[in-house]
Structure 1
C-alpha cells in the first residue's frame, strides 16, 4: 500500500510495544484470548475477560490491581467505555435471548474494597452505581455500537438489525431510566455518536449517514440524512470533540459532517479498518494490508497512521507484520494511545515533545511546517525566532534573497517583542544576527534587500547609530529621497527630547556631519537643508546657500530671521562673502546687529521656490557712499545726500547688549566705504547702550586709520577725509589711544594728528625733555626740569643720566645747578648714591669732586645711624640679660616671702595668706573671687593673678597675641613693605616680633 504522495510523513510519536508480563502464564493480562473489551479510565487500563470479569491494571506499572466478576457468567461484556476524565466505567454485556445489561462502576470504590469482598462474585455483581436492562424485541440481535453523552443522561445502543434504542435517565444517581426505539432500518448500525451542541445523535449504517433527534417523538425516522449513497463500516467513524462534527472514513477519503450536512472532505485513499479521533488535531487510522508473496501465500500486515488534520501531514507511520489490531483506545488524560494486536502485544504511542518534533522537521528543512507547528503549540518567541532564522539562512543559500530577507525581517520583529525583557546576552545575540545578515547581503551586493532589512530594524527601534548610518548611505545609493525625507522627519528639532525607552537609537550619537556631507555629495540640497533646520545649524545652512547654491538673496532673507546670537556667529564667518555680493544689504544688517536695533524677521517657508537657480550677481556698480548719513538716505530712497543727516537719526532703545564691533573688522577688507559707514553708525549709537570704553577706543582708532587710508587713496577727496580724521581726533582726544594715533599719524604723514596728540599726551613733559635731549640742548633740558620737575620728579633723574651720557656738556652746567639737581634727587629719593655714581661714570669729564660733598653728607648721616643702632643694640642686650636672669630666678629658684603687711588692707598678715611671685601678698579674705580668678581662658589658664599686676600682665599677653597673629596678615605686611623706604628695616621688625615662629 502506497500512501498519498501529497502528504508528508514524519515520525512525531514514540511507540513502545509492551509484551504482557504474564504472557503464556496461568493468569495472563491483556494477552488473554478471552479478552472481549478494553479501554482506559483516568487511572487504570480496564479490560473484560472470561465473559463477565473485569480486571484493572495500573497504567505505570502494568500490574493487576483488582479483578472482579461484574455480570452473571452467561453474559459476555462486549463494550466498556469510561466517562471522560474520571474513573467511572460504563459496561454493556449481552446474552443470547436476554436483554442487554448496562452497568456503571465507580472504580475508585472498587479498588478500596477488601479482598474478601472482591473475591465474592455474587457480592461484586451488585457493587455497581447504576444498572439498566435494555430490551430489544426478543433480544436475538447483537449490539453493534454503543455510546453515551458526557453527563451520562442518555445512552444509545445500535443493533445489527438496524434499530437504535435510546435510554434516558440520571444514571449517575440511579434514578431510573426510560428507553425507546428512536430509529429503525434494514441496514446494520455501524456507529453512534452524540452531538454535544444539538439534541441529536449521528447514526451511521453500511449505506447511510444520518441524524436522529434525542427528544420528542420521531417514530423511528431520521431527522436528516447526511449521506444517502454511502455508509460507513464498523469502527470507521468518530466524533470531532471540539466541534461535534462527525468523521467518517472510507477507502477513498475522510468526510466531515455537521448536524446539517457534509462540511468537508479530505482525500486520503487507503483502506481503513478503524479510525479514532485523538487529542489535538490527530486522527488514528488502522489500515489492513494483505501482501502476496511469490509462492502465492499471503501475509497480513497492519499499518498504523496518525494524521495531523490541521497541518495535513502524516505525523506517525508504523507497520506491524503478521498481526492485526483488535482494539484501539486512547488515554486522554496523558495523551497516550494504546493498540492491542491479536498476538497479545499492547502498543503504546506517545507524542514526542514539541522540541523534538521541530528538530525532526527542521532536519528535513521543512520550515513552513515547523513554523505552523510552533505557532499552534504557542511556543515562545525564541523558538519561533530560531526557526525563522534557519528558514532565512536556507533561502539565502538557495539564492532566494527576497524570501530570505522577509524571514530575517520577521526575526527582527521577535527581537523587538523581547526588547523589554532582553538581557546583555540577548543583545549580543541580536547584534551578531544583524551583523551576519548585513555582511551576507553586502557580499552579494544586494543593497536593495539590505536596505529593507535596515529599514525594518530602524522601524522596530532595534537599530543603533551605526545601523542608521548604513541605512542612510543605502538610501542615498538607491536614490530613495522619499525615505530620506521620512527619516529626517523622525528627527526632533534641536532642544526637544529625542529619547525613546523602546529604542536603542541615541539620536544625539548619530554622525550628522557624515549625513550632511553625504547629502551634499549626492546633490540632495533640499534634504540636507531639512536636516540642518532640524539640527538648528544655521551656520552650515548659510555655507551651503553661499558656496554651493549661490543663493545670496535667499541667504540674506534667511539669516534676517535668526536670533541675534546665531546671526552674530554667521556674520563673523560670512560677512566678507556677503559684502562681496550684497554690500548694501549686508552693511545694513551689520549696522542693525552691532547697534542693538536688530529684530528677527518672521520666518518664511525656507523651501519656497527652493529649486530656483543661483542668484545672478548684478554687474551695476553700487553708489559711492562715504558716510552713515548718506547711507541712511540711500536706504530711504533719497537722491540728495545730507552730510549731517546722521545726526538727526532717531535710535530706539537696544533690545539686547550689542556685541563688540571689532569682531567683524576683518570682513571689511576691500570694502573701505562700507567700513566707514559701519564704524560711524557704531560710534553714533555707542553711548546709547553704554558700551565698553575699550571697544569705543577700538572704533575710534580704526575709523581714524580708515579716514587716513581713504585720504591716501582718494586724492580728489583727500582734504575731506583728512578733515574728518582731524575732527575725530579733536572731539575724542581724551578717549583715543594717543600712542596708536601718533603711530598712525606718522605712517600717513598726518602732521595735524601728530601735533594734536603731542598736546594732549599725559607724558608731554617727558616727551618734551626727550625732544630737547635728542637735540643736545642742555639748557633747554634744564628749563624743562625747572618748569615741570616738581610735577614730574622723574625729570631730575633723567637729567642726571643725560649728563652722564653726554661727553662735553657737563662742563657747561653751573655747579649750583648740579648741586640743586643732586638735592632734588636726594629729596625725592629717586636714586641711591651708588646709582648716582653709576649714572655719571660713563662721562669721562665727570669727577668725584662733583659729588664729594653729596657723598660726605650721605656717609655722615649713615655713620650717625650706625652709632645709634649700636647704642640701641647694647641697651637691648643689657635689658635682655637682666630679664633673662629675672626669669630664671622666677622659674628655678624659690621666692622668699618676707612680706609683713597685706597689700590689700595694709594690716599685718595672718593665715590663710596668698603669695604671688611678683612679691605681693594678700589675706585670702581680702581677695574677692571675682577680683583675682578670671573667666576661663582659651588656653585653660585659671590660676589666680595678682590684682596689682593683672592689668600689666593682660597687656603683655594681648601684645604677644597680636604678634602671633601678624604672620597671618600678609596683605598688611605686603602693603607696609611696598610703602616703606627702608624695606630691610620692615622685615627685621616683623622677624623681631616673632613672625617666623
Structure 2
C-alpha cells in the first residue's frame, strides 16, 4: 500500500458518502486501550477515551450496523522496541512496505530498499532506483523474488524484479533480473495501485489518470514482456487486487466504481464488469484470500464483492484510510473526525476541546462472521502502514513507532466472554475456532449453569442437553430434582438414553417420572423407540410392572426376546391365562417347555382344556409353534386388540406376520390359529416329568395319560409309567365316586386297561394298587395274566369262598391241573366245604384220575387226613382204578410175551447167518431194477446189487436199502452207550420227574446198568 499518495487523492480520490440522518453512539474504551493511549500521549491519561461510531442509512444490500456489535479487547498491544539502526529507518520517509519470507521490506523516497529481520534488525539495504522513489514494493510469497516500482515523474515508472538470493559481485546488492518501464500511453501520471500474480506471469499497474496496464511475459528470466492498457476511465485508479485460480480476476477500484476484469482463464478478453457504481479511496480495497472476495471500505459501510457482484455489508459511518484482513478479522483505520459539526450533547457529556485538539485516529478490528469488535482504540498519530507477519498484526505510525497486535488465546477470549455472560458468542467463537467437542460442551455447561441461576430452567436444560456427553449426569439431575422440574428431568433422562449414557438408576428414575405424570404416551414412545436398546431392559420391565403398566412391560419383554418374562407378566400380573397359553404355544419348543412346566398348575386351574391340549401335543412330539392368521374381513368392526396380538409381532419366529409397531384399529374376525405343516424337531421329555404338574387335576391328568398311551413308539419305561399311573388314576377316581354306576364305570376302565395285551404294568404294582383301592378283580386279572392260577384259587380257598373256588377251578383247571389236587385237599378240609362242593368232589377225582395227577394211594392218603370223606364216596373211584390196573397188567404181560418171542426169533436168525450158507434168489438189482449180471454183490439181508450200482465194494460195504434203518438204530444205540456215563443227566431227570421209578426203568432199558464190554 502506498500511503504517500493519500494526500494527492484526498480532494479528488476520496469519495464523499451520501449521508442521511445519522445516529451517534458512544462506545466506552477499555482500560487497556486507555493505558496504551496514555503511553503514546501522557496528556490523555486523565481522560476517558471514547470512540464514536456513526451509523448511516442502509444502501443496497442489507447492512448490519456496528452499533449493535459487542466490543471486546481480544488483542494484546505492545510497542515494538526497535534497534537504533532500524528505528532511524522507520522514522525516515518510508513510502512502501511489504512482508514475506519472515522479513519486512521497506521502500524509501531516496530509492533504497531496506530488509528488516525477525528481530527487527537491518539485514541489508540496497539502492533499487537511482533517481526515483520506491512507490510500490511486493515480495512474491514462497520465492526469493522482490518486485519494486520506482517513480520519477515525468519519467515512466520502472518495474524491477530482484533475486534476493543472488548478489552482484561488485555492489553486493541483489541481482536485478529484469527492468520494465511501465507504459501509460505517454501520459505521465503517478502509479496509484499495483498487483501481481504469484508467478509474475502478469502484473497490473494502475495510474491516477484512470488507466490500468497489464504486463505479460517472463519477467523473471527477462525474456521480454508485452504491455497493454486493459482499462481506462475518467476516475483515478484507487486499488488493484488479483484473485488467482483457474480463472484469475483483477478487481479494479476507482473513486466512483468497483469493477472485475478476467485476466486469465474463461472470459479473458472481455471488458471489465462493473460490480458497483460507487468506488473507494486509495487503500480502501483489500483481498480476503480465504474467500476470494474483496473488501471495500467507504464512509458509510464496509462492502464485500465477488466476481458476480456485491455481497453482505456492515454499516459503519466514518471516513476510512485503509482496510486490511488479518486471520478472521477486518482491520480498519479511520482518520480523525471532522468536529465542526459536533453536537452539543456530546460536548455536554465530556467530549470537549481536548478531543478537538488531538483529533485521534481510530483503529478497529472486526469479526464480521460473529459480528463483534475484537479490538478498537484511538491513536494520537496517523497510521502509515499496516502489515501482517510472524502471525501478528503490526501497525506503523507516521511518527515511526511500530506496534504489535497479538491475538489473545482462545481461553483468554472465552474468559472475557464468561465475565460478561456472553455464552452464546463464546460458543460461536469456539465452534468457529474449531475446538473439540469436549471444550464446546464445557461452554454449554457453563451457559446452562448461568441460565439455571437466572431461573430459566427450560433454556438451561437445552444447554445441558448439548453438553450431555461430557457432563456428570448426577449434577444436572440433582438440580432439577431439587426444583421438582419433572418435565425437564424427563427430557434430560431421555437424552441420556439416546446417548447410551444411562445407567440402571437413570432408567428407574425416568420411568418413575413417567409414572408420576401418568404420561402413558411418553412411556410408550420410550419403550417403543426404534433402533438399538438404549436402557437397561430388566430395570425398565421391573419398573413398568411395579407401576402397573403391564402391557408396556410385556411389550418390552417380547420385543427383546425375554419370553420367560412375558409369560410371568401375563400370568402373575395381568392374570391373562388364556393369552399366556397362546403365547407359550408360539415359542420355540425349549422355551415353551420351560414356561409350561413353570406355570402348569396355575394354567391348569384357570385354563384346563387348552393347557392339557398343549401338554398332550408337546409330550407326543407333535408340538409346533403356532402362527396367527386373520380371515378376510367382511364387515370391519372396531375391537380392542388383545395383549397377545400386540406381542405376537416380536416372537422369534419367521412365521409370525403380525404388525410390530402399533395396534390395528380394526380387527377382522374370526381369527384362527394354525400350526405349520412341518413338525419342529425337539427332545421329547419323559412323560413322568409332567405328572407332578397335574396334582389336583385328575380329570386333565387322565386325559393326558389316555392320549399318550395311544402312541406306538413309546419306550418301555415310559409305557410302564403311563399305564401304571393311568391304572392308579382310574382306581382313585372310582374310589371317589359316590354313585355306584359311575364307580363301576371307572373300575371297568381299570379292568380293561389291565386286560389288554402286552400291558407293561408290573404285577406287584397292580396287586398293590388293587389292594389299596379294594379292587379285587384287578388282583385276579393280574394273577391270571401272570400265570399265578394257584394264587387265584388259593385266594378263594383262603376266603372260604367255595363257589368262587369251584369257578376258578373250572376256568383254570384245564390250564393248571395241579389245581385239582389242591381242590381235593380243600374239599376234604371240612364237612361244610364238602357239602358246599357237592358233586364237584367226584368231578375232581375224575380229573385227577384222567390226568394221572395222583395215584389212588395218594388220593386215599390225602382224604384220610381229616376223615371227612367216607369210603362210600370213594367206592366208584376205587373200583374204576382197580379194574383199570387189572387191564393194564394183562396188557403188559401180553407185550412181554410178544417181545420175548420176537427176541428169540432174532437170536436164532443171527445164529443161522453165522453158521449156515445163505441162498440168494434175487434176479434184479435193488438199485437200478435191471437183471442181475456179473459181477454181483449180495448182502445177508437178501438184497442184491450190480457191483457197478454200488458206490464202494469192500468187506465193510453196507446194503444201501437197509442203511437208513441201520443208521437210526446205530444212532440210538450210540446215544444209549454215551448216556451210560452221564450220571448227572440221570440224576437231573430223577430229580425233575415225579415218577422216579419210571425214570429208573427207562435208564435200565437204555442199558445204563450193563458193563461197558457187554454194551459194545
TM normalised by structure 2 equals 0.57
Deviations 1:934-986 (A, max 9, x none): xxxxxxxxxxxxxxxxxxxxxxxxxxxxxxxxxxxxxxxxxxxxxxxxxxxxx
Aligned ranges 1:494-893 → 2 under 5 Å: 510-512=536-538, 514-522=539-547, 524-534=549-559, 541-542=566-567, 544-545=569-570, 549=574, 551=576, 553-562=578-587, 565-594=590-619, 596=620, 598-600=622-624, 602-604=626-628, 611=641, 657-661=684-688, 663-665=690-692, 667-669=694-696, 671-682=697-708, 688-692=714-718, 695-696=721-722, 699=725, 702-703=728-729, 705-711=731-737, 713-715=738-740, 717-721=742-746, 735=761, 738=764, 745=771
Which of 88, 93, 98 is 1:29 aligned to?
88
Secondary structure, counterpart of 2:317 in structure 1 = coil
Are 1:305 and 2:364 matched, yes or no? yes
Q: Aligned pair in 2 of structure 1 residues 223, 735: CA closer, same or farther (>3 Å)?
A: closer
Partner of 2:177: 129
The answer (yes or no) to whether the contact 1:43–1:87 under 8 Å persists in 2 is no
Q: How does 1:192-341 map to 2 (within 5 A)?
A: 192-196=240-244, 201-211=250-260, 223-228=272-277, 230-289=278-337, 293-294=352-353, 298-320=357-379, 322-331=380-389, 334-341=390-397
1:48 to 98, 107, 121: 107
Partner of 2:945: none
For the Cα contact (< 8 Å) 1:679–1:703, is it kept in 2?
Answer: no
Taking a change above 3 Å as real, the CA distance of residues 723 and 232 of structure 1, as seen in their structure-2 partners, is closer
Task: Compare 546-555 and 7-16 and name the one that shifted more.
Answer: 546-555
CA distance in 1, matches of 2:264, 2:783: 134
Q: 1:344 aligns to what?
A: 400
Where does residue 81 of structure 1 map in the other structure? Answer: 138
Task: Tell me, in whole angstroms, the C-alpha distance in 2 between the residues paired with 1:68 and 1:300.
Answer: 37
CA distance in 2, matches of 1:258, 1:148: 18
- In structure 2, the CA distance between the partners of 1:761 and 1:654, relative to structure 1 (3 Å rule), is farther
Change (3 A) 1:370 1:693: same
Cα distance in structure 1, aligned partners of 2:640 and 2:477: 36
Distance 1:653 1:373 in 2: 65
Contact in 2 for aligned 1:654/1:689 (Cα 8 Å): no
How much has 1:91 moved relative to structure 2?
Answer: 1.8
CA shift, 1:348, in A, is 1.8
Q: For 2:176, what is the secondary structure of its paired residue?
A: coil
Deviation at 1:315, TM superposition (A): 1.9
Query: Computing the radius of gyration over CA atoms, which structure comes out larger, 1 or 2?
Result: 2
Q: CA deviation at 1:90?
A: 1.8
Query: 1:305 Cα deviation (Å)?
Result: 1.0
Is the Cα contact below 8 Å between 2:148 and 2:159 reproduced in 1? yes
- SS of the aligned residue for 1:98 comes to coil
Residues 163 and 176 in structure 2, CA contact (< 8 A), matched pair in contact too: yes
How far does the alpha carbon of each residue in 1:805-843 deviate from its partner, in whole angstroms, 9 at most, with x for none? xxxxxxxxxxxxxxxxxxxxxxxxxxxxxxxxxxxxxxx
Cα offset, 1:408, TM superposition:
3.6
1:69 corresponds in structure 2 to: 127
Moved more, 474-483 or 139-148: 474-483
Residue 250 of structure 1: CA displacement? Answer: 1.5
Q: Indicate how the Cα distance of structure 1 residues 667 and 517 shifts in structure 2: closer, same or farther if over 3 A, else same.
A: farther
Which deviations, in whole Å up to 9, do the C-alpha atoms of 1:402-460 show, x marking residues without a partner? 44444444345xx5xxxxxxxxxxxxxx5x62333333333333344444444444344
Contact 1:166 1:182 (C-alpha < 8 Å) held by counterparts: yes
Supply the distance in 1 between the matched residues of 2:400 and 2:643 (Cα, whole angstroms): 97
Residues 41 and 89 in structure 1, CA contact (< 8 A), matched pair in contact too: no
Instruction: Please name the residue that 1:20 is paired with.
Output: 82
2:425 aligned with 1:386: no
Shift of 1:58: 0.9
Instruction: Name the CA shift for 1:133/1:751 in 2 (closer, same or farther; >3 Å).
Output: closer
Find out whether 1:9 has 2:61 as its counterpart. no
Question: Aligned equivalents of 1:275 and 1:522: distance in 2?
Answer: 69
Judge which range, 379-388 or 468-477, deviates more.
Answer: 468-477
How far did residue 160 of structure 1 move? Answer: 3.4
Q: Alpha-carbon deviation of 1:183?
A: 4.3
- Output one character per residue of 1:877-932: Cα deviation in whole Å (capped at 9) or x when no partner: xxxxxxxxxxxxxxxxxxxxxxxxxxxxxxxxxxxxxxxxxxxxxxxxxxxxxxxx
Query: CA RMSD for the aligned pairs?
Result: 4.6
- Which 5+ residue runs of structure 1 have no aligned equivalent? 119-123, 416-429, 492-499, 615-651, 773-997
1:976-991 mapped onto 2 (5 Å cutoff) = none
**Within 2, Cα distance between the matches of 1:613 and 1:536?**
16
**Counterpart of 2:479 in 1: which secondary structure?**
helix
Q: What is the alpha-carbon distance in structure 1 between the residues aligned to residue 682 and residue 84 of structure 2?
A: 109
Matches of 1:533 and 1:77, distance apart in 2: 86
**1:696 to 1:88, Cα distance in 2 relative to 1, 3 A:** same
> 1:139-166 deviations in whole A, cap 9, x for unaligned?
7643333333333233333343444444
Equivalent in 157, 162, 180 of residue 105 of structure 1: 162
Aligned partners of 2:359 and 2:751: how far apart in 1? 133
1:706 CA displacement = 0.6
Q: Match of 1:379, SS? A: coil
Instruction: Work out whether residues 79 and 404 of structure 2, in 8 Å CA contact, stay in contact via their aligned partners in 1.
Output: yes
- CA deviation after TM superposition for structure 1 residue 604, in Å: 1.5
Deviation at 1:682, TM superposition (A): 4.9
Alpha-carbon distance, 1:298 to partner: 0.8
Instruction: For 1:684 and 1:258, locate their aligned partners in 2 and report how far apart those are by CA, in whole Å.
Output: 94
Contact 2:148-2:161 at 8 Å conserved across structures: yes
1:436 maps onto 2:511 in alignment: no
Q: Residue deviations 1:100-128, cap 9 Å, x none?
A: 22222222335xx67x734xxxxx5x942
Give 1:679 shift: 4.5
Distance 1:306 1:757, change over 3 A: same
Partner deviation per Cα, 1:344-368 (whole Å, 9 max, x = no partner): 2111223334444444444434333
Match of 2:171 among 103, 112, 117: 117
Q: Does structure 2 conserve the Cα–Cα contact (< 8 Å) formed by 1:704 and 1:729?
A: no
Q: Give the drift of 1:274.
A: 1.6
Cα 1:139–1:336 change in 2 (3 A) is: farther
Stretches of structure 2 that go unaligned for 5 or more consecutive residues are 1-50, 54-65, 340-350, 632-637, 645-678, 799-1016
Whose relative contact order is higher, 1 or 2, with alpha carbons under 8 Å and at least 6 apart? 2
**Separation of aligned partners in 1, 2:552 and 2:296:** 67
Q: Report the 3-state secondary structure (helix = DSSP H, G, I; strand = E; otherwise coil) of the residue aligned with 2:156.
A: strand
Q: CA deviation at 1:663?
A: 3.6
Distance 1:57 1:535, change over 3 A: closer
Counterpart residue number, 1:146: 194
The CA distance in 1 between the partners of 2:112 and 2:586, in whole Å, is 103
